[in-house]
A = this chain, B = another copy of it.
Amino acid sequence: MDDKYMLMIPGPTPVPERVLLAQANHPIGHRTAAFSEVIAEVTENLNWLHQTENNVLTLTASGTGAMEAGIVNFLSPGDHVLVGCNGKFSDRWAEMSEAFGLNVERITAEWGQPLDPEQFREKLEADTNKQIKAAIVTHSETSTGVLNDLETINRHVKNHGQCLIIVDAVTSLGALNLPIDRWGLDVVASGSQKGYMVPPGLGFVAVSEKAWEAYETAKLPRYYLDLGMYRKATEKNSTPFTPPINLMFGLQTSLRMMRAEGLENIFARHQRVTKATREAIRALGLSLLAPDDAASTAVTAISSENVEANRIRSVMQKQFDIELAGGQNQLKGKIFRIGHLGFVSDRDLLTTISSLELTLRELGHESMTPGAGAAAASRVFAQS
């Protein structure tokens, strides 16, 4: 049967019909009063979602472009940075920092394990000459489903005093509480195809006053990603370059939906679905890559000793038209990942788990009680 496709990967995430239809409107001129109103509304709602008083800046770029903007606007060649590395995306930020001539010190953890905040504390405390200009941390590491302890790492950064904290919040923004101003996060980057319920193509960057001060002296070259231009334009409800107008229509609609649902409800939904996923996976006799106390609310990475991860994905896709994500780099073929952020409901998760159980049965994974997965997920939903 065609058109029954179900997207359960950590991005792109499912997009509500009304968002899809909003971006099917005819584009309008981006220098018109009508489009300024769109920018004004979107910016206000982005600030709400980011829990910040500073205008969130919107770029025509993927999440990687937003992270690059977060790095090149506030640093200079040769600057020392600490980069937390425990997955494909956090590794990418170390690689990117090196491409821009930064002096990178990696703080690593095994893929599937969270970064140890103590290692940040030690490095930062030892840096009495204040050489470390930034700590770059991936909040939710999409490749492993690990949530790093950003709050604690940030506390150590704050004790350092001068170091900026630059956060990849690509799969955490909108999926769990991230009080940017209250925590004093300096740069927070994310992308539309995740918690925002919008197709890919928009990147977002929130910037603190302290980071704007660093911007004044930062010497890395930039133009298209020069956030100073975006800041000035946003203040006038404009953009420095032509924005992706139709995606902005979609974003306008999705942010209205998010405001209607409310931050607390959005976060509670993600926590509930995450818990249900994990209980169900355990009940099915599969293994969870990330520990419970470092579980991303965006994505769950799963392995099985008995059944190949990619065979599971393949049957899920062919038989149930459910797209799951695979492992990346060294985890290729070893895990599969269920995305559960953005426009994902309890029902979607029940559907996925029930289909997964049938899939496992077909693939000869016998070590489970029939119905155990759905039952475990249902218990979580019933209790919350």
Would you call A62 and B60 a contact (CB within 8 A)?
Answer: yes
Q: Mark A3-42, 1 if CB is under 8 A from B, else 0.
A: 0010101011011000011011111111110000000000
Q: How far is the CA of A60 from the CA of B244 in the complex (A)?
A: 10
Contacts of A20 in B (CB 8 A): 24-26, 246
- Tell me whether A199 and B12 are in contact in the complex, defined as CB-CB below 8 angstroms, given that A61-B61, A224-B68 are known contacts: no
Would you call B26 and A200 a contact (CB within 8 A)?
Answer: no
Q: Mark A341-361, 1 if CB is under 8 A from B, else 0.
A: 000000000000000000000
Closest 7 CB pairs of A and B: A201-B244, A24-B24, A199-B246, A12-B27, A68-B224, A62-B241, A96-B223
Which residue of the partner chain, among B12, B64, B225, contacts A241 with CB atoms under 8 Å? B64
Contacts of A134 in B (CB 8 A): none
Q: How far is the CA of A199 from the CA of B60 in the complex (A)?
A: 12
11 pairs, A vs B, C-beta closer than 8 Å = A12-B27, A12-B30, A15-B26, A20-B26, A23-B246, A27-B199, A30-B200, A31-B325, A32-B323, A64-B241, A247-B247
Taking the closest CB of chain B, its distance from the CB of A93, in whole angstroms, is 10
Contacts of A11 in B (CB 8 A): 242
Number of copies: 2
Would you call B61 and A99 a contact (CB within 8 A)?
Answer: no
Q: How far is the CA of A241 from the CA of B63 in the complex (A)?
A: 8
A84 sits at the interface (CB 8 A): no
A245 sits at the interface (CB 8 A): yes
Would you call B5 and A200 a contact (CB within 8 A)?
Answer: no
- Report the interface size for chain A: residues with CB under 8 A from the other chain: 53
- B-contacting residues of A (Cβ < 8 Å)? 5, 7, 9, 11-12, 14-15, 20-21, 23-32, 60-65, 68, 95-96, 99-101, 191, 193, 199-201, 220-226, 241-247, 323, 325-326
Which B-chain residue is minimally distant from A67 (CB atoms)? B224
Taking the closest CB of chain B, its distance from the CB of A1, in whole angstroms, is 15
Would you call B26 and A14 a contact (CB within 8 A)?
Answer: yes
Q: How far is the CA of A60 from the CA of B200 in the complex (A)?
A: 9
- Tell me whether A244 and B30 are in contact in the complex, defined as CB-CB below 8 angstroms, given that A23-B23, A61-B60, A224-B225 are known contacts: no
| Chain A contact residues: helix, strand, loop or mixed | loop
Would you call B223 and A220 a contact (CB within 8 A)?
Answer: no
- Apart from A95-B223, A247-B247: 10 A-B pairs, beta carbons within 8 A: A7-B27, A14-B26, A20-B25, A60-B60, A60-B61, A60-B62, A61-B65, A62-B241, A201-B201, A244-B247
Q: How far is the CA of A99 from the CA of B326 in the complex (A)?
A: 40
Contacts of A223 in B (CB 8 A): 64, 68, 95-96, 99-100
Would you call B61 and A27 a contact (CB within 8 A)?
Answer: no
Which B-chain residue is minimally distant from A24 (CB atoms)? B24
Taking the closest CB of chain B, its distance from the CB of A134, in whole angstroms, is 16
Contacts of A62 in B (CB 8 A): 60, 224, 241-244
Taking the closest CB of chain B, its distance from the CB of A16, in whole angstroms, is 10
Contacts of A99 in B (CB 8 A): 221-223, 226
Would you call A12 and B242 a contact (CB within 8 A)?
Answer: yes
Q: How far is the CA of A99 from the CA of B30 in the complex (A)?
A: 25
